[in-house]
A and B are shown apart, each in its own frame.
Chain A
Amino acid sequence: ADLPNEIISQIFLVGTTDWRNTAPLTLPFPVIASSICYHWRQLARSNPVLWSFLVAPLHKEDEDCLYWISDWIGLSANLPLSVVVDDKLRRPRRSSEATNRLASEAVTLITQSWNRLRSLDISLDSFSLVKNQIIQLRHAPNLRQLSLCFRGPPFATIFIPEVDRPLPPSVTKLRAQNLALQSPCNLTSLTMHKPRLGYEGTQILFSGCPNLANLIIHNLVPVNSPIPAKRTEIRAESLQSLAI
Chain B
Amino acid sequence: VYFLSFLKIPNLSYLEV
Contacts and interface: CB of A to CB of B under 8 A. Distances in A.
Contacts of B15: 241-243
Interface string B1-17: 01110111111111111
Interface stretch (A8-16, A104-112, A145-153, A232-240): A232-240
Contact of B7 (A202, A238, A240): A202
Nearest to B15: A242
A242 B12 contact: yes
A93 interface: no
A239 to B, nearest CB: 5
Contacts of A227: 6
B6 A234 contact: yes
Contacts of A32: none
Question: Which of B4, B6, B16 has the most chain A CB atoms closer than 10 A to its own CB?
Answer: B6
Given A243-B16, A244-B16, A244-B17, A236 B9 contact: yes
A242 B9 contact: yes
A231 B8 CA distance: 12
B14 to A, nearest CB: 4
Given A237-B11, A239-B11, A240-B11, A231 B16 contact: no
A166 to B, nearest CB: 26
A197 B11 CA distance: 22
B3 to A, nearest CB: 6
Contact of A220 (B3, B10, B13, B14): B3
A244 B7 CA distance: 13
Contacts of A222: 2-3
Contacts of B8: 233-236
Interface in A16-71: none
A240 B9 CA distance: 8
Contacts of A236: 7-9
B15 to A, nearest CB: 5
Nearest to A217: B3
Contact of B3 (A197, A235, A238, A239): A197
Q: Which 7 A-B pairs have the closest CB atoms?
A: A243-B16, A241-B14, A233-B8, A236-B9, A235-B8, A239-B9, A244-B17
10 contacts: A197-B3, A217-B3, A222-B2, A222-B3, A231-B6, A233-B6, A234-B7, A236-B8, A240-B11, A244-B16
